[in-house]
Amino acid sequence: MRVLSAESKRRKREYNAAYKKSAAGRLSALRYRLKWNYNMTLEEWQEAIAIQDGRCAICKKRRKLYVDHDHCTGEFRAGLCRRCNLLIGHANDDPVLLRKAAQYLEGFGPTGSNFERRAGRRMRMPEIEKVYR
């Protein structure tokens, strides 16, 4: 086994740090993560982004896209922006929970019981009880 001097170790660390910051280094890291984590190639990822026209599959906004995958099977689903990916992740990929959250929010819309609260007044208890029924 070859023993490196302190100076050689320092130069190697500097080289590696510079490579990781370079375009080639970032591309190499992306290829590795896609293959290791999602078993997909960079070309497959780029094709998925092109099919979505560079837009998030949920909110349809043009933002940086992240891989959304099924945590049970590991299967790729779509490209999502960070906000939508976190939304699904925090709901533990549970569509029932997300539907309940949507119903909850719909009760607080401009025509819902929370309109007065948004105008600066607090909600009365009977109104809160309607939301939780």
Least confident range of 2-6, 34-38, 60-64 = 2-6
pLDDT at 88: 94
- Rounded to whole angstroms, how far apart are CA atoms 14 and 8? 10
* Averaged confidence pLDDT in the chain: 85
Residue 21 has pLDDT above 70, yes or no: yes
Name the percent of the chain lying above pLDDT 90. Answer: 62
- Rounded to whole angstroms, how far apart are CA atoms 108 and 92? 24
Answer for the pair 92, 99: CB distance below 8 angstroms, yes or no. no
- Rounded to whole angstroms, how far apart are CA atoms 77 and 7? 47
pLDDT at 133: 53
- The token pair at 60 is 């349809």
pLDDT at 124: 52
